[in-house]
């Protein structure tokens, strides 16, 4: 399987999961993975659950997290969901190369939806000189997200480590200001492309529902970071801004995906990040698609 671009259809829409690369979360740069993404998990339960995924907390020393953006061709619009991490690390910023490899130039994209303003989702907004990477695009973001990252509030509420995120936002958000549409309720962005409220991971984190001919794709972005979060929806990550809200959002979106039998795209799951969600006990389970291409 191609690990950079994965093509699929949602009704009449031509879609692609496009890799921006990945980042390895490991000491000494980062704490051990389990402490980052399951920060409140009780030790014994964590060992048992990770064991079911062939992982052991002490020996699980690195988490290689893919960064997977979504491209949707609706025939009338070419829509990109998130711009990747840009120059965050040598292993990221591959989005443009991967788009070009399938014949898509940055100029071709007319709509960019930013699910939230963390570095791995907005880092590709600008190039190394600070110029807009996608010069013809209109941007869409949740209003609360824009307000948070462009206000004084962010600096006060974020700890020292998270200030790196703020620096990224301060570099990658102002250049899109004049071409930005903010949404503050669930609404259709374009025919077949809908903004879905998904707050918690960040104040205005947003999911995107794509639908065509009664087929559904729910792009849940960072509502969950690892497949174990479906089974243990109460386990949140240190980077989750409002843990209580994260858990409520997870339950609402995973339930929606189950009921609608939607295909789901999760930004940090193993490439291409696509699968279905099935109910399991009081939680859910991830069923990755079996890629054909
Ligand atoms: Zn992310």
The per-residue pLDDT for 1 is 58
> Which tens digits make up the pLDDT trace of 65-106?
999 999 999 999 999 999 999 998 999 999 999 999 999 999
Question: What share of the chain has pLDDT > 70, as a percent?
Answer: 98
> Which tens digits make up the pLDDT trace of 159-174?
776 778 898 999 999 9
Q: How far is CA 196 from CA 188, 233, 259, in A?
A: 9, 19, 16
Distance from residue 13's CA to the centre of ligand 1 (Å)? 25
What is the pTM assigned to this prediction?
0.96
Determine phi and psi for 48, rounding to 5 degrees: -65, -50
Distance from residue 267's CA to the centre of ligand 1 (Å)? 7
Is the model's pLDDT at 56 over the cut of 60?
Answer: yes
Distance from residue 239's CA to the centre of ligand 1 (Å)? 9
Q: How far is CA 18 from CA 68, 184, 187, in A?
A: 6, 27, 25
> Which tens digits make up the pLDDT trace of 187-214?
999 999 999 999 999 999 999 999 999 9
Distance from residue 226's CA to the centre of ligand 1 (Å)? 11
């Amino acid at each position: 399987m191609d690990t950079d671009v994965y093509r699929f259809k949602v009704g009449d829409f031509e879609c692609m999961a496009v890799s921006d690369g990945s980042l390895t979360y490991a000491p000494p740069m980062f704490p051990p993975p389990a402490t980052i993404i399951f920060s409140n998990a009780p030790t014994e339960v964590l060992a048992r659950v990770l064991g079911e995924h062939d992982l052991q907390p002490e020996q699980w020393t690195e988490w290689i997290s893919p960064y997977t953006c979504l491209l949707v061709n609706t025939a009338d619009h070419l829509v990109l969901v998130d711009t990747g991490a840009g120059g965050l690390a040598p292993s990221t910023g591959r989005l443009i190369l991967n788009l070009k490899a399938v014949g898509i130039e940055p100029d071709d994209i007319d709509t960019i939806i930013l699910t939230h303003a963390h570095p791995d989702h907005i880092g590709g907004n600008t190039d190394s000189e600070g110029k807009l990477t996608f010069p013809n695009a209109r941007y869409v973001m949740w209003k609360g997200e824009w307000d948070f990252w462009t206000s004084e509030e962010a600096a006060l509420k974020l700890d020292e480590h998270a200030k790196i995120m703020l620096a990224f936002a301060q570099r990658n958000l102002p250049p899109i200001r004049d071409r930005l549409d903010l949404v503050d309720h669930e609404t259709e962005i374009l025919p077949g492309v809908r903004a879905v409220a998904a707050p918690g991971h960040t104040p205005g984190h947003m999911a995107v529902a794509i639908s065509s001919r009664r087929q559904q794709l729910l792009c849940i972005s960072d509502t969950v970071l690892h497949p174990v979060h479906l089974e243990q929806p109460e386990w949140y990550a240190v980077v989750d801004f409002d843990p209580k809200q994260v858990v409520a959002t997870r339950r609402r979106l995973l339930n929606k995906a189950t009921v609608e039998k939607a295909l789901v795209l999760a930004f940090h799951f193993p490439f291409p990040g696509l699968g279905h969600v099935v109910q399991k006990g009081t939680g859910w389970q991830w069923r990755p698609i079996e890629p054909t291409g």
